[in-house]
Chain A
Amino acid sequence: MSKDMTGAEMVIQALADQGVEHLFGYPGGAVLPIYDALFHQNSIEHILVRHEQAAVHAAEGYARSSGKVGVVLVTSGPGATNAVTGLTDALMDSIPLVCITGQVPTHLIGNDAFQECDTVGITRPCTKHNYLVRDVKDLARVLHEAFYVAQNGRPGPVVVDIPKDVQFALGSYVGPENIEHKTYKPKLRGDADRIEAALDMIARARRPIFYTGGGVINAGPKASSALRDLARLTGVPVTSTLMGLGAFPAASRQWLGMLGMHGTYEANMAMHGCDLMVCIGARFDDRITGRIDAFSPESKKIHIDIDPSSINKNVKVDLPIIGDCAHVLEAMVRGWREGGRSTDGEAMDVWWRQIDRWRARNCLAYRASDTVIKPQYAIERLYAATCDKDVYISTEVGQHQMWAAQFFRFEEPNRWLTSGGLGTMGYGLPAAIGAQIAHPDALCVDIAGEASILMNMQEMSTAIQFDLPVKIFILNNRYMGMVRQWQELLHGGRYSHSYSEALPDFVKLAEAYGGVGMRCDKPGDLDAAIAEMIAVKRPVIFDCIVDQQENCFPMIPSGRAHNEMILGDMAVDLDEAITDEGKMLV
């Protein structure tokens, strides 16, 4: 059924037909017709942010915590350019978004008009796909296509740039039913023979490991559930990237913790020593592999991924399986059950005993203190106070993010929102806002650093306006901690510009926004303060004053292999630990 309406009305109709309930945005000249159309309806709630970057991060938090597509609406020019960081973040972390940008009228495009920029040109490398809609007759189709592209295959952000005259123009609307994409048809089901081959390899392996990533989260709860089944059936140990935390329960005995640069000793040693690695929805990122020519030298590698371009990109694998993690894992569970396979019990016992010896190294141990709050302790206490609650954790980027990944334990997928690929400081608060919109009754906590939080601090206003009781838990060490740690390790302790000078009083700042401010600097007061923070049903900034000097360990120094990691209690000359070539890496 087609129906005549304006371009602006089509946007709203298309969003409603796509099941969109929430929209994160900021108005401006080139999107006024769409804002006018929003004014006339009640089905979609618009969340007014205070900066377009935050609109995109909020949509990411919304998408990541709910499994839906996040939707953003911003104006032309600076509205679009401000969104670029968020779009790049979503591309790197494979988050499904549709971002609608206003554009100057078609006759002004290319004229350097007021608030004009080449939005499709600028966003081409930082989106999965983008469109400039020059004719209203294409608009409805393009909008539906945008939702299709954003969420099918490897998810990602899609920009639809709509000139103002197209928003005013009349055209006929078509619904999503009859839209079929002519070129983009990603493969969902893994090749059956390869799945059989993979199961044979698992059955034959003596030291297997599952290395899982964000793709398992993206593939939905079915994928996590199938991963749990497959791990239970086979008895294989499981580790995960930063992006995949929660797909496998931290409470399981088979869970080794996160791997990679700040991963656990047992996870990295098991990756290094395994004879079969099954990579599921992860991409052999440089934070994971460390030195690539010494990465897991003795293993056969199976790689399950929906994106063929992830295969053999960094690490050559023996058996690629292209497909959606949920489909492939479910097929593997079925195949394992029906095929009557089993792993080599004796070999697995030996393997698990080795892993237990690595575990006994207790790599996350830190020196406790009863005078100063250790950042690790703060996360542990936050976890203890919230683990029985319906909780969503977001983070900013830096030491606090790694400590959160190490010490907060996730049992379920979609509970952990963090900027992994791009590493965007300023991600956490808007992401927590997005998660809170999607889950109004849940506890949404942004674990932050005092430097990162200032990058999108203005979003406190959004939280106040929409009555979102998000908690900002700042591990305040008065340093850009990870920068400081690297300067200590690589640059002779010359802390060039990494000291947080002239910090605001976060308690007063919270109050100035209309929220609640709290401060805690004594380990003995921490539990009571955290309990109070949780009890307050308003936005809270919790200024947790922590040890300034604490470093984040374990750490694989740049340019080193998994079995060359530094632990917190090792007396090593850190300067020696990193080679000159390692210093060139990031």
Chain B
Amino acid sequence: MSHPPERIERHTLSILVDNEPGVLARVIGLFSGRGYNIDSLTVSEVSHERHLSRITIVTTGTPMVIEQIRNQLDRLVPIHRVRDLTVEAASVERELAMVKVRGTGDARSEALRLAEAFRARVIDATTESFVFEITGKSDKIDQFAVLMVPLGLVEVSRTGVVAISRGPEAM
């Protein structure tokens, strides 16, 4: 039997959870146990008084799988709310990366010029290296990292995507 290939979509999910031990393991275990993709994941406490953490997950799958992921997350006991920012609201996404480039001479000055063009900041420097801090959409960071390869890219550390809906409403 052959099925027509289904459309694969990329979705950004925002998940508000009780900040309790094991909650991240529950979310990640759900993805690994059911074979869902995680392209990016970030998590941090967002309200100390209310013990709330926010998880942002970027995932890919068919529309049916994305709906499943949402519903599976929603029924985990310590989860307050799940929002699919890709379909439910216009949203903004950002990622931060630190990019280390090693080199001297022309390559070094070219790296610095490109960094300016991308509005990356130098946050560490030696005579033979820079660490740039760059913020933006993921594809901008991808592009920056690609450009740095011939100029002496040695290491990249990225936060993963954080996202929030546009406009005055909270999730």
Contact = CB atoms under 8 A, between A and B. Distances in A.
Contacts, number: 47
Nearest to B3: A293
A124 B26 contact: yes
B35 to A, nearest CB: 13
Interface in B62-85: 64, 67-68, 71-72, 74-80
A129 B74 contact: no
B111 to A, nearest CB: 45
A91 B77 CA distance: 14
B71 A125 contact: no
Contacts of B79: 183
A294 B76 CA distance: 33
A309 B1 contact: no
B25 A121 contact: yes
Query: How extensive is the interface on chain A, given as a class?
Result: 20 to 34
A165 interface: no
A153 interface: yes
B25 A124 contact: yes
Interface stretch (A265-273, A311-319, A418-426, A462-470): A311-319
B22 interface: yes
**Most chain B CB atoms below 10 A, which of A125, A294, A311, A316:** A125
Contacts of B95: none
B133 interface: no
Given A124-B22, A581-B1, A183 B64 contact: no
Given A309-B68, A316-B64, A184 B77 contact: yes
Interface in B1-35: 1, 3, 18, 21-22, 25-26, 29, 33
Contact of B75 (A124, A125, A181, A309): A309
Contact of B77 (A120, A129, A291, A294): A129
Given A183-B18, A559-B1, A312 B64 contact: yes
A426 B37 CA distance: 36
Contacts of B26: 124
Contact of A309 (B3, B21, B72, B80): B72
A249 interface: no
Nearest to B20: A131
B6 to A, nearest CB: 11
A308 B75 contact: yes
B77 A149 contact: yes
A291 B18 CA distance: 40
Interface in A364-422: none
A199 interface: no
Interface in A312-344: 312-313, 316
B74 A308 contact: yes
B22 A120 contact: yes
Contact of B71 (A120, A124, A153, A308): A308
Contacts of B77: 128-129, 149, 181, 183-184
A307 interface: yes
Contact of B1 (A121, A293, A316): A293
A129 B75 CA distance: 10
Nearest to B51: A182
Interface of B: 1, 3, 18, 21-22, 25-26, 29, 33, 64, 67-68, 71-72, 74-80
Given A120-B22, A308-B71, A309-B75, 8 more contacts: A121-B22, A121-B25, A124-B22, A124-B25, A124-B26, A183-B78, A183-B80, A291-B1
17 contacts: A121-B22, A121-B25, A124-B25, A124-B26, A125-B29, A132-B21, A149-B77, A183-B18, A293-B3, A307-B75, A309-B71, A309-B74, A312-B64, A312-B67, A316-B64, A559-B1, A581-B1
